[in-house]
Each structure stands twice: as C-alpha cells, then as structure tokens.
Structure 1
Amino acid sequence: MSIRFEASWCGSDLGGHRPCPNTYERYSHDSLPPLDERRFKGTFEWLGGSTGTSTDRVTELRAVTDELDLKGLSLPQDFITYFTSANLRDVLGDPWLTCCWNSLSKPIPSPVEPGAYLVRFFRDQQDCVLWYFYLRPGSSAFVVHSHLEYEYEYEAHHSGGECNGDSDIDDLDEQMEALQYCAPTFEEWAYRFWIENHISEAVASGDKPSSDEDVDAYLNHYRTSRQHLPSV
C-alpha cells in the first residue's frame, strides 16, 4: 500500500484575506479556494498557452528524463510543456516577493517509500521551501513540498557530514512531517502559486489586488469564509 502524505499548501501573505506571520505558512487544503479541475488541460490557457520551444531547456530536461526512463518513471507532461516552452518557462520564476525560481534536480530517492523518487523543480531563494514531483512506478506524479533540500540531505548523510539542522534522513516519522502533499498536478500547483503571488505583490506594495476575474474569484472565497466565522 502506498504511503499517504499529510496535505497542506505552503503559501505566503494574502493580507487581510489570509494573514501569514512568517515568510511561508502551511495551510490546510480544506481552507483553500477550490479550483475547477476541468480548466487544467496541460495547455496553460490561463497564461495564453504555450508557444515555441527552448532547445536549451529540452537538453536540460533530457538528462533527467533519461535517468527516470531507466527507473520506469516519467515527469508529468504538463511540466514538460511548461519547462520547455519558450514563452512560459520563466513566468513563475519572475522576481516575486518571495524570490523563487525553477530548479531542476536529478531523481532523488524518496526518504519514506522504497522505489519512489523525488525530482525538485522549484525552490525559494533561501530554501525556506522546495517543491518536488513525487514519482511512483505505475502512478501519476503529484506535487509535494518540504523545507529540506533532499539532494544535500542525501549527500551529507552518505558522506557523514551534517544535514540540515537536526534532520535525520532515516527517521520515517520526521520525513513524513517534512514532506507533504501539495497539489495533484503541476498545472494546478502553478496556477495557485501564480495567482497567490499576484495578490501578495499587491498587498506588499499597499495596492489593492487587481480586479481580474480570477483574482476576484480567488479572494471571494476568503471574504465568504470570514462572513461565516462565528461571532465571539
């Protein structure tokens, strides 16, 4: 039986709509605005669609996909479309408030499940949070997040060096806490990350978030939730 991860969204401040005392906080999936799954077809129409191909990115990706092929695993097609697209490849890595960017790793063994692997695809500049694909043989990839940089953790573990703080790569309970389910597909993760960063940027600059239809719908979830809070 496959391991079941705790689910949370790692996000930042949305002002009065969803305060965040630190750079990032974990939020339960039940508290998030729901997304219409029918909208996410792997084509990124909400970003204008994919046009052109970056040959450099194709080459970079091939080094990872070739290694995954040997393990009977593959990256999700929506990520391949995004990563190799000439017009989409850096849209999530723009200089947002939290300064995150694309960061592709080679396959990393899962610390909690034999035969499964992680591939890091995005990270915060200070490694406060890193996002990975979680890959299992015979099943679809999904997105997880962690405060641990697992490439470094394994290197330090095998060399006998110090890991990140008191992290123990062999401690199953600790790793199950550190590694949490984030989103069912890359495109759904990308959409939520993109829209929340637009809102966070406006909040940080003292502006109102744009009256874009998507932003309004997203924030309306929090407005409605506040209206239904019990009075004290």
Structure 2
Amino acid sequence: MDRCASMFPAGWFTSGPDVLWGMSSTYGFVPYEILPVLPDVPFDGSFSWLPPLPARRSPLTYEEEHGDGSLASLPRLRAEARGRGLEIPEVFMRFVATPAIYERVPSITGCFLGFSMSVVRDPSSSRGGMLRFLNDSQGCAFWYLYMTPSGDHCILASDQWLDGGDDEQSALDPQQCFWCAQSLEHFLYRFWLEDEIWTRVKRNQPLSPEQQQYLADAIAARHRLPAPSQRIDGSHPTRC
C-alpha cells in the first residue's frame, strides 16, 4: 500500500461477488488484505494490458455527453483542483479523455463515467481532495480519485454519493471511504479482471491462467470474509 492508505480504511467493492466470493448480492465488500495479489502487469500509463472489448459486452461510457458531470467539465475541475494546490494526474486525464481506452473497460453492473460537480473536500482532513469519476448504475457504489498536495494519488471507493457542495462537509465520513488501489491503473486492472472472470464463468468460457489463479485465490480466502452482519455489501434495499 501507499501512504494514502494510512488515511482511510482499506477495502474493495467487488461486483458480481457470487462467483468470486460466494455472496448473493450485487456488490460485496472485501477487506483489502484478503484480496488476491494482482499478476505482474506493467502499469506505465500506456494501458497496454487492456485488450479490445469482446463482442456482446457493454463498455464504460459517460452518462451524458454535455453537462456538469461530463468530460466537458474536466478543464474547470482541473483548474479548481490546482486552485487548491492539487493536480489531477496525467494518467487519469488520458484515461477519461480517450474513448479508445475507457471503452475497452466493461462493467457487468452498468457503471458509468461521470464527475462530481466540484472537487470534494478531504474527509480525512489531510488537505487532499476527491473527484468522483465512476458511478454504479443503481447507486450502490462510487469511486473517487483522491489527490494529495504532494502530488500522490490513489483510488477510494464508497457507498456515499458526494458532489462537492459545501453542505456535504458535515456528512463526510472517512470510515465510509475505502482505500482500494494505489493508482488508477491498479484499480482498473482489478475492476476489469474481476468483470472478465465473472462473465467467462457465467458464459462457460475458458479462463486465462491469470484469471484461474485469481479465482482460486479468492475462493481460498472466502473463510476470511467478515461475518454477514459485519459486511458492507450493497444488498441493502436502498442501495441495490
């Protein structure tokens, strides 16, 4: 983990958790420490690990082409971040602005791209900022780019929908924002990998050796999951 991880609890919202984790819900919450280790992949900003999207798969897209949550709002949000002493990393800018990249990432739960109205204040009171960029179609989970004044970034997951308004500050709960990846590419790789495993298993398609290992490791770690009464798993009727 990176030093951003010390500011938040660590965890992962996994979609379609029945295949990987044996949970009968839309999303499952998995403590980060029991997640399978990712394969050795070159995370160099090129997204060279990301293959073309197979047929019959739905890619990530923006909820709307124009408006406050669309790509058109990014220059304003970048200027706002800089005004707070923060910088949206180039790898993030490249991903969200390049259809040839983000349209190669599928989502079995209909997640879509869309930004918060403003940079969200740091719930950890560490002078950072959050930018919501990925949203579950049913409002079960949301993902945020977290930026620090030192130029570091990581990805946070939460079941809280935050838009950056001043009236939200009192509602921010750092214990409901989970450090889930040390970089955008680490996040996207695990997000893509789990989606691929779920889809291939459901369609009786063969898994790659890396996918087989990841699935085997997840199944082997199921006994370490929190008890159902302690889970945050998206099965709450107001969430999914």
The TM-score, its normalising length taken from structure 1, stands at: 0.75
Q: Which residue of 2 aligns with 1:207?
A: 203
Q: Does 1:77 align with 2:75?
A: no
Q: 2:121 pairs with 105, 109, 112, which one?
A: 109
What is the CA–CA distance in structure 1 between the aligned matches of 2:77 and 2:171, rounded to whole Å? Answer: 27
Q: How far is 1:208 from its partner?
A: 2.9
Q: How far is 1:202 from its partner?
A: 3.4
Contact 1:195 1:215 in 2 (8 A): yes
Amino acid in structure 1 at the alignment position of 2:111: C
Give the alignment of 1:105-184 within 5 angstroms. Answer: 105=116, 106-113=118-125, 115-151=127-163, 154=165, 157=167, 169-170=169-170, 175-184=173-182
SS at match of 2:185: helix
Question: Using CA pairs below 8 Å that are at least 6 residues apart, which structure has the higher relative contact order?
Answer: 2
Q: Which residue of 1 aligns with 2:234?
A: none
What is the CA–CA distance in structure 2 between the aligned matches of 1:103 and 1:214, rounded to whole Å? Answer: 31
What is the CA–CA distance in structure 1 between the aligned matches of 2:25 and 2:51, rounded to whole Å? Answer: 33
Give the alignment of 1:83-94 within 5 angstroms. Answer: 83-92=96-105, 94=106
Contact 2:197 2:207 in 1 (8 A): no
Q: CA RMSD in A?
A: 3.0
Amino acid in structure 1 at the alignment position of 2:47: F
Contact 2:145 2:155 in 1 (8 A): yes
Amino acid in structure 2 at the alignment position of 1:193: F
The TM-score, its normalising length taken from structure 2, stands at: 0.73
Contact 1:146 1:179 in 2 (8 A): yes
Q: Which runs of 5+ in 1 are unaligned?
A: 50-55, 159-168, 228-232
What is the CA–CA distance in structure 2 between the aligned matches of 1:37 and 1:68, rounded to whole Å? Answer: 32
Q: 2:43 pairs with 32, 40, 43, which one?
A: 40
Q: How far is 1:212 from its partner?
A: 2.2
What is the CA–CA distance in structure 1 between the aligned matches of 2:145 and 2:14, rounded to whole Å? Answer: 17
Amino acid in structure 2 at the alignment position of 1:126: Q
SS at match of 1:91: coil
What is the CA–CA distance in structure 2 between the aligned matches of 1:119 and 1:209, rounded to whole Å? Answer: 36
What is the CA–CA distance in structure 1 between the aligned matches of 2:114 and 2:108, rounded to whole Å? Answer: 18
Q: Which residue of 1 aligns with 2:59?
A: none
Q: 2:110 pairs with 85, 92, 99, which one?
A: 99
Q: How far is 1:209 from its partner?
A: 4.8
Q: From the CA coordinates, give the structure whose radius of gyration is larger.
A: 1
What is the aligned residue count? 204
